[in-house]
A and B are shown apart, each in its own frame.
Chain A
């Protein structure tokens, strides 16, 4: 490109290299190395942004979490005291337990529904599969804040249509947003929000199961449920494991739904209802930034631990290439 000075590079360069003065790895020509330096040029814009907005904040949060600031006495180094405070207080862990319960119910229920519909669409045993797939996917385009606002209106205890409905069925004065029913209500919202997306991914995975495998099973007179459970399910298991993993990371960060629903039913959602809510309230609302940073680090570690465990589990089963 840059004028006539550039000669067409020799493609089989290793033999040509000895005279050029620098060591060349076999099979890796000077030309190829120059080219690969350009590879770094393609990657570097992302790397700069990644460093500034991912690595630096994480490092700074870890640094910040080792200090304590007081109104009198200023900011002093306090080692791991923030961490011992978090790990020994029940406030943080009660939130962790709540989001684990949330995930333990929401994720299996959602995945079963998603797999059910994905299978039905894949086999073509339900009519109008295309339209249903599109409809089920709509909630993915609804911001979680707006989803929580809409469901808040529907669940509202005095005027909301759902409590009217419950009345019709003989359940009087049901408050879907009371402290006892808040978590189940949020589970319903999360299922509404994410089932279509999960179902679409499972559907795509099911489509990639080779057709002849299924045909062979049919010719053997294998009943349909057996084809689904014994043939299709094992072949999409990597996809299911990955969805469990992604949904778990999401569930542990539950934040927006309880924060918004609290507007409809003040006082039910406590400051430490979920870990991220607790981080938010500790740092932004109470200005205890060092403690908040330590919590962010602990939450990050908990999530990494759970993710790595699930990946190791997957490796044990020989599913990672």
Chain B
């Protein structure tokens, strides 16, 4: 019997995403992903001073603030062909790294761990055994019996009180939850600790960016930070040292808690390396430039279209010619006028709502395509591309992760199996470990450059009279982000943001090719159509943030799943 299930909303916090799946004999046989509201946020930027675009862009989305600010300021600099000083690159990089580390830790513990961890099992756990288990995985100092006992008591109190609070919406007791009590306790104890460490990552962002959640230090041409080794008011010795202390604490948490936990979860749930494969084509943009010219990057970018072939094409500039030309947005199945696939600089956003029709229009998200085909973006894309290109840090942490996972699972799990629901979680942890290493690297680059006597942070822009075009990219926590700007006499004429979730949550295109979420859901087993936990696991593995994909939010909706017979 075929049943169609509508899951709406699907995210815990971020905006409004609806998924319709057809379940045939306990497996998903088809899927449609919809962003259910629309706002033309880009229109707000039209007519504004290009120097201020980033201020507005970082308010587009409540979750990914910093990333829009950076992509926006880079877009304007690209249009002006304006180089920024090395110090500005490093300061921006340190902000981006810590924003990403914050985001990845929040995603793992706050937004997806409870898809896998059954809180109701925790009161049965033995804190001694949980502590011993934790010590097998890591030398983290806060894995003691006492820590585990305190976390257990906390969970027990919540469960006994019958008032689950934040934990109310979990699918507790679902047959697809099978961690033993001690493993549940271990990850729950770190869920509590994560709140403390994610704050430290934000403090790094605030120390350099002036404020969070909305940074204030960007400017077209660099950053507004003043550098002076001898001044308390400017960024100097004392400031660099205090940032380093916070950075070290964050890195320590990522390496000794998040990374081992993700590997353990992946080892225990290794069957999820066989589900949620997706579109099989991956896109990442290079990031973390090492010099003023942005001629070398510490995070590799490229395009991987044939995994078996193993060849990932390389993108060596922020936006090389091939990338610039290859991106289009198709609106065949999205609620916009027209059916042409348009390049973002030519992008039109004329809404045309027609209700939900599986074979016609069914979403507010446009179908982003690379060379006419869908592409998955995000940590998995970046890790696969980096691995294929032989990027040393990516190889180091990927190999370490696969060894750990394989030893827990009891059989070999290879790089090819990362193309899966669990692979996305593991790739995010791998990326976090790579970023934690790169944080140290870029702190030293900054400190060395300052000690050499370079205090410059800003090259002033000057805007020509004619029309200019630019694109700014950033490999954001959720993947490749690009802002496309057309400027005339210093004012914004057209603005389009192609956000990561536009790639991943994209609908079918004119050739009826499914987007990555849709493709990943195919074949997923659903044990209980009333509680479609498995579908949620796969969607959550992408770290969905619909807030900016459809430029829209709606807070209503308490239901997680509704099912009906087809």
Partners in one complex: no
